[in-house]
Amino acid sequence: MARLTIVRAGPLMTVQDLGRPNHRREGVSLGGALDRQTARVANLLVGNPETAALLEITLGPAILRFPDRRAIAWGGGDFPLQIEGTEIAAGRAACVHAEEELTVGPARRGARVWLAISGGIDVPPLLGSRSTDLRAGFGGLAGRALGDGDELPLGGTGRPNQTERVATWGAPADWTQTSTRILVLRVVRGAEWPDFKAEARAAFLRESFVVRPQSDRMGARLAGLELRRSAEIERLSEAVVPGTIQVPNDGQPIILLGDCQTIGGYPRIAHVITVDLPLAAQLRPNDAVRFREVTLAEARAFFVERENDLDRFRVGIRLRTL
């Protein structure tokens, strides 16, 4: 079986797909690529099913060596990505040959990229997914982050649809370059929104918050104006989801990301809307972030619009590969 060599893994590289959406009653996190949209688009560009496993690469620099000819495509933060010195733009399928090396990063802006490889990463699925659950230690390669010298099994390529070095056609840039200089995340109100003082609610939607270093795939921890509640009420733990913004007693919000727990007891001031989760996945320490409130109807409309765009993109891909 063809094996991809991780020559250099960088700070954090994991195998991910679209995660485990139906095991929460067992306490299993959703997990998966923190930017599901980019994961799907990158897979489509190389002719994979959208659910194929790919690499989530944090910050870089990382180096991969290929066993045979493959199509690759990537998206996410603003990273340099090169195959043997040729720069490959985000959202463009590219061809990499046997024994060639692909280098990723270091990041210019943003935190993560998703790299799809034709054939996908063929580790065994567990609970319906190949995603690495780092906290619980299962999935991906032996339930852990990839290290230098690791080898990953690749699936069969079938008919590689990419033979030129870089495709002349690709995905829209705003899909595949998701890091922006001033980040505004759109949110809907959380269950405990009314429990916060009026000043705290106003500050939450006005002030900038800075990402703290203790951030990971479970959550982006922020620092800023202290968000106080009118009364400190202890609550029974209830469900939380990726995008939930919870505020522990220190008043400093945490944006939960894909590997977050299934339940939590901290008050939920707001939730990042689904279409903006890819932006939250690009936050890295010292980045600034602000929040803007939208309605549930708007959140849904943004999602429907993006899905319609993605549908057209799928049709476009199919027409090109006939």
Partner 1 sequence: MEIIPLGDSALLVRVDDSLGEVLAAARKLEAAKIEGVCDIAPAFASVAVFFAAPRDLAASAAEIQRALRRRSRAGSKSLKPSLHQIPVCYDPEFALDLAAVAKHCRRSPNELVKRHAAAEYRVRCVGFAPGFPYLSGLPRELATPRRPTPRVSVPAGSVAIGGAQAGIYPLSSPGGWNIIGRTPLRLFDATREPAALLRTGDRLRFITINRDQFEQWPA
**Closer Cβ to partner 1, 127 or 184, answer by number:** 127
Sheet holding 70-78, edge to edge: 12-16, 54-58, 109-117, 70-78, 92-96, 166-170
Q: State which of residues 262, 288, 293, 314 lies at the interface with partner 1 (CB under 8 A).
A: 262
Q: Which residues contact 116 (CB under 8 A, 6 or more apart)?
A: 39, 42, 43, 45, 46, 48, 52, 54, 72, 73, 74
Q: How far is the CB of 221 from partner 1 (least distance, A)?
A: 16
Among 88, 95, 171, 299, binds partner 1 (CB under 8 A): 299
Q: What share of the chain is helix, strand, coil (3-state, %, to 5)?
A: 20, 35, 50
Q: Which of 4, 9, 28, 94 binds partner 1 (CB under 8 A)?
A: 28
- List all residues 6 or more positions away from 20 whose beta carbon is below 8 Å from its beta carbon: 28, 29, 30, 31, 32, 127, 128, 129, 131, 133
Residue 139 or 219: which CB sits closer to partner 1? 139
Is there a contact between 136 and 20 (Cβ–Cβ < 8 Å)? no
Nearest-approach distance from CB 80 to partner 1, in angstroms: 33
Contact range with partner 1 by CB under 8 A, out of 43-51, 77-85, 278-286, 298-306: 298-306
Q: How far is the CB of 25 from partner 1 (least distance, A)?
A: 4
- For partner 1, which stretch binds (CB under 8 A), given 169-177, 203-211, 269-277, 311-319? 269-277
Q: How many CA atoms does the CB half-sphere of 289 hold within 13 Å?
A: 29
Residue 272 has φ and ψ, to the nearest 5°, of -65, 135
Q: Tell whether residue 303 is a contact of partner 1 (CB under 8 A).
A: yes
Q: Does 25 bind partner 1 (CB under 8 A)?
A: yes
Binding mask 156-195 for partner 1 (x = CB under 8 A): --------------------------------x-xx----
Closest CA to 276 of 246, 248, 255, 252: 255
Per-residue binding letters, 31-60, with partner 1 (x by CB under 8 A): ------------------------------
Side-chain half-sphere exposure of 86, counting CA atoms within 13 A: 14
- Site residues for partner 1, 118-137, by CB under 8 A, read 126-127, 133, 135-137
For partner 1 (CB under 8 A), the number of binding residues is 42
109 binds partner 1 (CB under 8 A): no
Residue placing its CB nearer to partner 1 in the complex, 99 or 307: 307
Distance (Å, whole) CA 103 – CA 166: 15
Minimum Å distance from CB 190 to partner 1?
Answer: 8
